[in-house]
Amino acid sequence: MSQYSNNIVNFCTKTKFSHLMIGLVLSFFAALSTDVSFAATAYQTKLAKTPTHILNTDLVALTHRKHITLDWANPTFKLNFDLPRHEWFDGLDLTLSMYPQGDVDPHTPIYISYNGSKPIALHGQGSEFHAQIKLDANLIRPSQNNILISFRAPRGSDCLTARDGQWIVDMSKSKLTARARTKPHALRIADVKQQLAHSMTAPKRVAILARGKNKTAYEALIAQGIAQRVNTLPDFQLTQKRADLTLLVGTRDQLRNRVKEKLWLDTQGTLMFV
């Protein structure tokens, strides 16, 4: 471990962290695996205020299912989800993509209810449709949110039968989109772990820019650490262009020309700052 002890890692993301530095490559990933919230952080660290930004995810990432079938045997589907912590939410939209199979009644709508709200009718007219539903912002909560999708019996029928066909939810084309603002709070190692783990904030493209003779080892170590903490493997790249998350790895001297706050490079030990 001693060969890495003088190295630091620099993180930059588009969504939450404007400029994040963590000392000691191995200590960083060790801290992510613990429940100690303030491990390897400076107590005065704060997140910079951020404007409204967009977070989104397809429903496959939330459910690990590519399709959901609604029919007489399973006429409803409830999507349960939590939202990222340390965010205020100004709005939440559901994009829903569905298509029919069999002899569905073109006059029977699909119903959507968010957190127990009055159901909204979607009239697909018996054909494939893509609908964008603005969910009630007053009902948004940090955890235990749910969206209920219902396929009901045609008018005049008491219940669905096999003859009423099926509706298929295409989860890869359906998504949640949130308008969010980051809450000012002390920056913790746990925040990085949570960002990587949540499908709305996990980076899709990660740039690893390493310096020094151990460059290849750093790249492999960082890629492995990120891969173990995300639900969907991101694209790793060695250039910063279009990256959602950029990591700079090297000694303090090697990174000096990439860091604005030079005084921090003269400190000792593990630290995090914005």
Q: What is the pLDDT of residues 7-66, one digit of tens each?
A: 444 444 443 333 333 333 434 444 444 333 333 333 344 444 567 888 889 999 999 999
Least confident residue range of 31-45, 150-164, 181-195? 31-45
Instruction: Give me the mean pLDDT over the 246-251 stretch.
Output: 78
User: Which stretches of the chain are assigned E, i.e. beta strand?
Assistant: 7-13, 20-23, 53-58, 67-70, 76-81, 87-101, 110-114, 120-122, 129-135, 145-151, 166-170, 175-182, 205-210, 235-237, 245-251
Q: What is the Cα Rg of the chain in Å?
A: 23
Mind listing the pLDDT tens digit for each residue in 218-245?
A: 888 888 888 888 888 888 988 888 888 8
Mind listing the pLDDT tens digit for each residue in 108-145?
A: 999 999 999 999 999 999 999 999 999 999 999 988 99
Mean pLDDT (the chain, rounded)? 78
| Alpha-carbon torsion (183, 146, 228, 243), positive or negative | negative
Q: Residue 181: its pLDDT value, please?
A: 86
Q: Percentage of the chain with pLDDT > 70?
A: 74
Q: Residue 60: its pLDDT value, please?
A: 93
- Write down the pTM of the prediction: 0.66
Residue ranges of domains in the chain, CATH in brackets: 2-49+184-266 (no CATH), 54-180 (2.60.120.260)
Q: Residue 257: its pLDDT value, please?
A: 75
Q: Residue 96: its pLDDT value, please?
A: 97
